[in-house]
Amino acid sequence: MERSTGYRIDELARRFGLEARGNTTAVIRGVAPLAGAAGDRLAFLANPRYASELAHTTAGVVVLAGEHAGASPVPVLVARDPYLAYARIAALFDHAAAPAPGVHPSAVVARDARVDPTASVAAGCVVEAGAAIEAGAVLGPQCVVGPDCVVGAQSLLGARVVLVTRVVLGKRVLIHPGAVLGADGFGIARGEHGWTKVPQLGGVRIGDDCEIGANTTIDRGALEDTVLEEDVRLDNQIQIAHNVRIGAHTALAGCAAVAGSARIGRDCLIGGGAGVLGHLEIADGVTITAMSLVTRSIRAPGVYSSGAPIEENRTWRRNAARMRQLDRMARRIAALEKQLESLTRERS
C-alpha cells in the first residue's frame, strides 16, 4: 500500500498497539473532528463531554477508551489513552515539506560560524560569530543566532526566532515564531542615586525534544545558565526569568511566568496565567491550576490552586467588602473564644 493513499485501520492498530474493532480493512487518509468527519477520516473521543457526538459520527474510525466502544456506529481503535494515541497517529498525516538544505543568498553568516551542509538557513537570517548550526537543523526566515549559540541537530526555529547569546539547543528542539532566548535577565541593584544594571553573564541550555511557543522569552542566567531539561513544553507568551531550572517532561500553559532562580521539578503541569515567585522550589509531579500564584515552595506532589473564581459583579463586590473585615472579625472571634473559655472554667 502506498503511504500517500493512507493507512488501513488494522495497520494503525498494529503500529500503535491498539485494539481494532469493526471493519479493519478501511483506509484512513486523514484526521477530523468527531462531529462531521468524512468516512476516510480518523476522529477521537477523549473528553466524555463530547460523548453525545459519538452516536452520530460518520468518521471512518474513532480512537476512544474501551468504555465508549459499544456506543460507536463506526469502527474503533481502543486505546488506554485516546488523546495520546490520536496524537501519535495524527503525526502520520502531517506532511509539511522539509526545506531544502543550504544557506539562502540573503542570509548573513559570520566567517567563523559553522553551518552543517544538511542544515537549512532561510532568507534574511543572521548567524553570528562562533555560532553552530548542526545537522538537519532548520532556521526559518529572519532568525538571528547570536554569538556562541548552538542550534542542535534536527531542531526547527520558526520565523524571527532570536537566540541572543550563549544559547545551546539540544536535538529536535522546536521553537515557534517570535520567541527570544538568551536576552538579559532582569538584574538591577538599587543605589543611592538610582539603579545599577547587574551583568548577565550566564547562558541558556535547552534539552532535547523541548518545544517553546510563539513570543515566549527565556532569559539567560546572571552567572549560571537558565536550564530546561529534556522534553519540556512551553506554550505561547511565557516568561522564564534568569537562572530558572525546569525539570524534564514539565509543561507550562500560555502566559505563565516564572521568576528568577525558581526551581520546577520533573513531570509538573502549570496552568495558563499562573505565576511562580523567585527562588522557590516545586517538587516533581506538581500541578498548578490556571491563574494561581505560587508564593511558597511546594515540597510534595499534588494539585495546588489559588485565586478566586469569577462570579456575578454584585456578589463579588459584596464578598470583597467582607474580605476587608476578616481581620477585625478574626480578632472578635478570638476574644469571644477567650471569654467562653473563662466562663467555662468559672462554671467548672
State the Cα–Cα distance between residues 249 and 208, nearest whole angstrom. 11
103: closest CA among 128, 122, 131? 122
Grid cell 546572571 is found at 222
User: Is residue 242 among the annotated active site residues?
Assistant: yes
Q: Helix 82-90 to helix 9-16 angle, to the nearest 10 degrees?
A: 110
- The catalytic residue among 68, 242, 249, 279 is 242
207: closest CA among 239, 256, 234, 171? 171
CA distances to 104, 105, 134, 142 from 126, rounded to whole Å, are 11, 11, 15, 7
List, by residue number, the catalytic residues: 242
